DNA sequence: GTGAAAGCGCTAACAC
DNA sequence: GTGTTAGCGCTTTCAC
């Protein structure tokens, strides 16, 4: 591996001069020297040692993406199309901006802290954190941080977040069902914290606007990791007797259930209407195609990276932001108009 | 950020001793000192600076995953379920083995070389390389390298590869169609190099075994990036007049076409049979569920990482390997038995 | 058992 | 315009 020192010796000049040329500070160097150095860099295939540079500069040009995954829920996080699109788009944007990506799936916040501290990561993007984890993270990592889809209590306001109008999206799609005459609607999620909590709130708002009560028995929780399990799926078939529609918190669950219904000979939307959330590939792939709430995951990813880098470059401290990106109703074929 | 030096000063001992304790070389240190150091490490939340460590040790504990993506084909590589599962599983295994993952999507091999050299990556995993790129890479990176799904000419044998029995899989599924009475079969891919070339070979072998000619007009190439394009999809509908089945090189394309046929009122498998390759989520999601060739992507990913680390730890040079993992026929509902 | 010190490759303040 | 030099934080050799 050829070093700056090597090249300086060969050219009989100092490392500073070589370094200056490499960093384009050519105004301080004679044109001739610049040319000689550039040539040698090329000839010898010199590549700067990033570890040395990071050590000297005390920064890393690394952006860490950390996702806390219970390996219980995900055997492989990237199998979830939301995360794979999100991370793929971030990877692209990070590279475009001249940064490096260090991907870190951890099962605890302590691990994340340890990791980012050790690598001296310039900035951190974290997805799907709950309050407790955020507090821990904030206490132990003083670097720049952007959260994705994080809901924190109002008492906390020193954070940057890029989320979604979850409440609004869920309101919209529930209203769409109500407008189509549905009155007995199930709400399906695999938990009721964070994002899904706000989706549930939006759902409730729509019901209330129509003067309908929020019935606890219409909240259907899918046991984590068992969304394909027949005993779980059967419940959906049984509830059709008293429900006319299901609002799902994710396209993935919705698509699974649609297929289950297809296989059982239950016709959609004739016998039951179904809606999703996210508008990912599954929503477009499944038949009938899924009526759902669309979010632009790629835009979210790019915005998160850009905002983070903006913060990194900011001279003075910038205001905190908590952006909730817009959603859109996508009407396809899984909602029936009731008389 | 607390350093070894800080702690040495506080305890009134040398950095060597602190370093020794941190690395578990406790045999050379008195029990009392060990305890004091350990306590301080905990109290101060000491985390080693990885850049400094890498610089001193001249290695990085980083495994680079590089994928050469024409951004033409992929706006987001991870939207492809094959890559997202592959990379997700690798990420998990890499972490499990105590390494770090640096993800790098590049549009040229030169970029990859530059990247891995700069970071002093210990090992490299590269997916989907063609010969030329491999040669370039090999010339410029002398580190340990494992390829994924790479076919190199027989004249080259100094490489490590984890691939698939592509030829066999394609043979199997074509034979399945032939056994079911199909004689006019289209073969669909988006290119005919690398993996897809071998799939085409397997397809041909099956045809020949049945004494059937390989017709060039039955090779259907999908223009890259236009798989959802109606003008492209229409071709498939038209060819039904002379073909009874399509062998697709990927589940993704197969699923798209199935949905197109559904939407056009063309019945599968009654009017035309379809098979896929990979057995990813789409194959299971689409209706009718897709008959396809299954590969275990996660197993492939884990094996690649484990093999790489094995090479990294090997004292002596180890033999090169070129593993082709087994595939399996998965019969679902998209193939009709003719008469 | 413990410590001094050189060095990994690069940067940047400062001197000439 | 160019060079000297002191670090960045850690590892490791060798001496005590």
B174, two tokens: 């074509």
Q: Any idea what DSSP says for residue A334?
A: S
Neighbouring-strand partners of residue B278: B294
Establish if B317 belongs to a structural domain: yes
Establish if B186 belongs to a structural domain: yes
> Strand, coil or helix: what is B188?
strand
Number of domains into which chain A is organized: 3
The answer to whether some atom of strand D lies closer than 7 Å to the beta carbon of A58 is: yes
| Cα distance between the two ends of chain A | 76
Is residue A188 located within the same domain as residue A112? no
B145: pLDDT strictly greater than 80: yes
Mean pLDDT of chain B: 92
Is residue A204 located within the same domain as residue A317? no
Encode pLDDT of B84-120 as tens digits.
999 999 999 999 999 999 988 888 899 899 899 999 9
Encode pLDDT of A69-120 as tens digits.
776 566 888 988 999 999 999 999 999 999 999 988 888 899 899 999 999 9
Do residues A275 and A290 make contact, with C-beta atoms less than 8 angstroms apart?
yes
Establish if A336 belongs to a structural domain: no
Look at residues B169, B150, B97 and name the one whose alpha carbon lies nearest to residue B327: B169
Do residues A83 and A252 make contact, with C-beta atoms less than 8 angstroms apart?
no
Whole-number Å distance between alpha carbons of B119 and A62: 11
Is residue A188 located within the same domain as residue A176? yes
Which is higher by pLDDT, B132 or A72?
B132
Q: What is the DSSP string of B114-149?
A: HHHHHHT-SEEEEES--HHHHHHHHHH--SEEEEES
Q: What is the DSSP string of B22-86?
A: HTT-GGGS-HHHHHHHHHHHHHHT----HHHHHHHHT---EEEEEEE--TTT-S-GGGSHHHHHH
Encode pLDDT of A198-223 as tens digits.
999 999 999 999 999 999 999 999 98
Is residue A302 located within the same domain as residue A228? no
Is residue B179 located within the same domain as residue B280? yes
- As a whole-number percent, the residues of chain B with pLDDT over 90 amount to 73
Whole-number Å distance between alpha carbons of A84 and A90: 10
How far CA B148 is from CA of A253, B113, B302, in Å, comes to: 32, 17, 11
Helices (H), A75-193: 81-96, 109-119, 131-140, 166-179
Q: What is the DSSP string of A261-301?
A: HHHHT--TTTT-EEE-SB--HHHHHSSSPPBEEE--HHHHH
Residues 35-74 of B with CB under 7 A from strand D: 46, 48-49, 52-53, 55-57
The pLDDT, as a whole number, for residue B72 is: 57
On chain A, the residues whose CB falls within 8 A of the CB of B297 are: none
Do residues B331 and B294 make contact, with C-beta atoms less than 8 angstroms apart?
no
B59: pLDDT strictly greater than 60: yes
On chain A, the residues whose CB falls within 8 A of the CB of B105 are: 91-92, 95
Interface of B with A in 91-150 (CB under 8 A): 91-92, 95, 100-105, 114, 117-120, 140
Average pLDDT over residues A180-202: 96
Whole-number Å distance between alpha carbons of B207 and B175: 8
- Looking at the partner chain, which of A76, A84, A281 has a beta carbon nearest the beta carbon of B92? A76
pTM of the model: 0.92
Chain C bases closer than 7 angstroms to a protein Cβ: 1-5, 7-14
Supply the CATH number for residue A319's domain. 3.40.50.2300
Encode pLDDT of B223-238 as tens digits.
877 777 889 999 999 9
Establish if B335 belongs to a structural domain: no
Neighbouring-strand partners of residue B90: none
On chain A, the residues whose CB falls within 8 A of the CB of B107 are: none
Average pLDDT over residues B279-287: 92
The pLDDT, as a whole number, for residue A50 is: 94
Supply the CATH number for residue B28's domain. 1.10.260
The pLDDT, as a whole number, for residue A25 is: 80
Residues 290-319 of A with CB under 7 A from strand D: none
The pLDDT, as a whole number, for residue A184 is: 97
Is residue B181 located within the same domain as residue B277? yes
Establish if B27 belongs to a structural domain: yes
CB of B15 less than 8 A from some CB of A: no
Is residue A98 located within the same domain as residue A144? yes
Average pLDDT over residues A15-20: 90
Establish if A55 belongs to a structural domain: no
Establish if B332 belongs to a structural domain: no
The pLDDT, as a whole number, for residue A72 is: 56
Interface test with B, best of A4, A41, A45, A51 (most B CBs within 10 A): A51
Encode pLDDT of A24-76 as tens digits.
887 767 888 889 999 999 999 899 999 999 999 998 999 999 988 776 566 88
Is residue B37 located within the same domain as residue B108? no
Instruction: Kindly report whether the peptide bond that precedes residue B288 is cis, defined as omega within 30 degrees of 0.
Output: yes
Is residue B160 located within the same domain as residue B170? no
The pLDDT, as a whole number, for residue A85 is: 94
Establish if B253 belongs to a structural domain: yes
Whole-number Å distance between alpha carbons of A221 and A253: 11
Q: Any idea what DSSP says for residue A61?
A: -
Residue nearest to nucleotide C1 (CA to C1'): B29
Is residue B312 located within the same domain as residue B287? no
The pLDDT, as a whole number, for residue B73 is: 62
Whole-number Å distance between alpha carbons of A140 and A120: 13
Is residue A154 located within the same domain as residue A238? no
Largest Cα separation within chain A, whole Å, is 89
Look at residues B52, B64, B48 and name the one whose alpha carbon lies nearest to residue B118: B64
Is residue A287 located within the same domain as residue A178? yes
Encode pLDDT of A296-306 as tens digits.
999 999 999 99
| Cα distance between the two ends of chain B | 76
Domain enclosing residue B176, as ranges? 166-295
Whole-number Å distance between alpha carbons of B186 and A251: 33
Look at residues B86, B71, B5, B66 and name the one whose alpha carbon lies nearest to residue B40: B5
The answer to whether some atom of strand D lies closer than 7 Å to the beta carbon of A108 is: no
Do residues A238 and A266 make contact, with C-beta atoms less than 8 angstroms apart?
no
Mean pLDDT of chain A: 92
Neighbouring-strand partners of residue B248: B188
Question: What are the phi and psi torsion angles at A324 (to 5°)?
Answer: -115, 110
What's the CA–C1' distance between B193 and D16, in Å? Answer: 66
Encode pLDDT of B321-338 as tens digits.
999 999 999 999 999 999
């Amino acid at each position: 591996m050829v070093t700056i020192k090597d090249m300086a010796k060969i050219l009989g000049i100092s490392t500073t001069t070589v370094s200056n040329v490499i960093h384009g500070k050519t105004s301080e160097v004679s044109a001739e020297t610049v040319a000689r150095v550039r040539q040698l860099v090329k000839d010898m295939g010199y590549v700067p040692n990033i570890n040395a540079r990071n050590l000297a500069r005390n920064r890393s040009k690394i952006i860490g993406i950390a996702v806390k995954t219970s390996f219980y829920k995900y055997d492989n996080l990237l199998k979830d199309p939301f995360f794979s699109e999100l991370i793929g788009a971030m990877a692209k944007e990070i590279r475009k901006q001249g940064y490096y990506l260090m991907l870190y799936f951890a099962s605890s916040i302590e691990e994340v802290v340890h990791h980012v501290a050790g690598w001296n990561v310039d900035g951190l993007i974290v997805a799907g954190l709950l309050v407790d984890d955020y507090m821990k993270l904030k206490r132990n990592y003083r670097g720049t941080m952007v959260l994705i889809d994080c809901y924190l209590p109002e008492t906390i306001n020193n954070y940057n977040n890029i989320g979604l109008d979850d409440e609004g999206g869920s309101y919209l799609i529930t209203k769409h069902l109500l407008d189509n005459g549905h009155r007995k609607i199930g709400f399906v999620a695999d938990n009721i914290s964070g994002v899904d909590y706000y989706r549930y709130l939006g759902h409730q708002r729509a019901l209330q606007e129509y003067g309908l009560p929020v019935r606890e028995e219409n909240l259907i929780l899918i046991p984590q990791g068992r969304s394909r399990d027949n005993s779980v799926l059967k419940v959906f078939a049984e509830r059709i007797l008293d429900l006319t529609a299901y609002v799902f918190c994710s396209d993935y669950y919705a698509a699974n259930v649609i297929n289950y219904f297809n296989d059982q000979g239950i016709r959609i939307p004739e016998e039951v209407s179904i809606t999703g959330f996210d508008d990912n590939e599954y929503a477009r792939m499944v038949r009938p195609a899924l009526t759902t709430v669309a979010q632009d995951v790629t835009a979210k990813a790019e915005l998160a990276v850009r905002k983070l880098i903006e913060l990194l470059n900011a001279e003075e401290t910038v205001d905190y932001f908590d952006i909730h990106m817009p959603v859109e109703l996508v009407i396809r074929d899984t909602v029936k108009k009731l008389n």
